[in-house]
Amino acid sequence: MNYKYKRVLLKLSGEALMGDQKFGIDASKLKHYAKEIKQLSERKIEVAVVIGGGNIFRGLQAEENAIERVQGDYMGMLATCINGLALQSVLESAGVYTRLISAVEMRQIAEPYIRRRAIRHLEKGRVLIFSAGTGSPYFTTDSAAALRANEISADAILKGTKVDGIYNKDPHKYPDATMYKNISFNEVIAQELGVMDMTAFTMCHENNLPIVVFNINEEGNMLKIIEGQSIGTLVT
């Protein structure tokens, strides 16, 4: 079968791992994401994942807690490593070979990021889990996703969310909100739709890297996107 995308980067927020909890990791959500990723891996689709840390600690919380912003950002990076370890464990339990890669060196638990080695892992069918963001403070995991996706020459970023796509206004607050099936980078900027932070979004825009925003909690959505079905919102 000819798939629309052969190499993708999945962006997951830390909050996506919480489920209905207020913090931490929901085991059922973790298993669901692992199952969705495995479906792609079994079809020889090369998959990389960037995962956030907001379910444990978010850098922007730092000032509220009297923690310096830079320190807070590093704490957030460590939170993404915890999530990465959890996802790696569940994926490998499901029979998927993985590599956890950290932008901050921690040799006992993760490989350092080396672009050529990362691409070779993908070519060998291993799922990459990028953790610790970009390794630098003041950059979000959205920025890390855009950076890594461009570096590994991904065909698209799949941004998994709790809603079905990009709406003209918050669908949780406004029942009459309408969803876009296709939208351009320029339209997103003009309407201030906030798909990703502006640094990440600009990087995708400048490098013509499409973004698919979709509901990660709907079973089979990732596979449908790979097959070319119109799921979520495509930003080009």
pLDDT for 114-157, tens place per residue?
999 999 999 999 999 999 999 999 999 999 999 999 999 999 99
Domain that holds residue 134: 7-235
Predicted pLDDT of residue 62? 65
**Residue 182 lies inside a defined structural domain of this protein:** yes
- Is the residue at 1 inside a domain? no
Name the 3-class secondary structure at 184. coil
| CATH classification at residue 129 | 3.40.1160.10
CB–CB of 195/213 below 8 Å? yes
Alpha-carbon distances, residue 124 vs 127, 149, 209 (angstroms) = 9, 18, 23
Confidence of residue 66 (pLDDT cuts 50, 70, 90): confident
Predicted TM-score (pTM) above 0.75: yes
Q: Is the residue at 150 inside a domain?
A: yes
- Does any domain span residue 213? yes
Which residues pair with residue 101 across a beta bridge? 111, 130
pLDDT digit string, tens, across residues 20-46? 888 889 999 999 999 999 999 999 999
> Minimal CA–CA distance to 79: which of 131, 148, 144, 155?
131
Which two tokens mark 225? Answer: 């996107």
Task: Assess if residue 145 is contained within a domain.
Answer: yes
Domain count, the chain: 1
E strand intervals along the chain: 7-12, 46-51, 98-102, 111-112, 127-131, 156-161, 166-167, 179-180, 182-183, 211-215, 233-235
In the block, tokens 């900027």 appear at 189
